[in-house]
Amino acid sequence: MPEADGLIIRDATAADVPALARLHVTTWNDTHLGPGGQGPTYELREWQWREAFKVTDGSWFCLVIEGRNGELVGFAKGIPYAHPDQPAYAGELSKIYLLRAYQRRGLGRRLLGHVARRFLGQGVSSMLLFGVAGNPAYRFYEALGGERLRSPEGEAGEGNYGWRDLGTLAALCPIE
């Protein structure tokens, strides 16, 4: 899927695991710890992604944003969601990360649009995500119609958002 700015959004493959693991470490640390923070290691992320790619039943997907030189600059992972505490949602955006240098350029919105369309193509019309309280991405999710979720006890779920209609989300998110 070529994009006007030279960046493409495509399905990740097992061949992407080393680059995806590096990207995951960098973006996770920047998001949750700040520059120079030390979170999960490359070795752990590489093992996690290798394990994920062993599951070939189509139950999950990972989309990556690839730069002009083939470097990965962002990714999102979608998985099925079936849990009694949030029965209104069928899909889960389990990960979405973008290198800081590529943020605020519309790429997150495009990536989210691709995720919504992928889920819709699988017959999944709703999705949620579990985020970290205090993550500034909450403004991004709310601007795109994400509803702040509450716990089964009615407490506000800091950082957790849901979209009951992925068709509406897809319409808000161009894919190019």
pLDDT tens, residue by residue, 111-125: 999 999 999 999 999
Q: Among all chains, which residue has been given the structure tokens 């691709």?
A: 114
**Residue 15 burial (CB count, 10 A):** 9
pTM, 2 dp: 0.89
Structural domains of the chain, with CATH: 8-172 (3.40.630.30)
Distance, in Å, from the CA atom of 117 to the CA atom of 134, rounded to the nearest integer, reads 28
pLDDT tens, residue by residue, 122-171: 999 999 998 877 777 788 888 999 998 875 555 556 678 999 999 999 99
Whether the pLDDT of residue 2 is over 70: the answer is no
- The encoded tokens of residue 127 equal 């999705």
pLDDT level of residue 37 (50, 70, 90 thresholds) = low
> Is 136 in contact with 130 (CB distance < 8 Å)?
no
Q: What is the pLDDT of residue 82?
A: 80
DSSP summary character for residue 73: E
Distance, in Å, from the CA atom of 176 to the CA atom of 107, rounded to the nearest integer, reads 9
What's the whole-number mean pLDDT along residues 27-53? 85
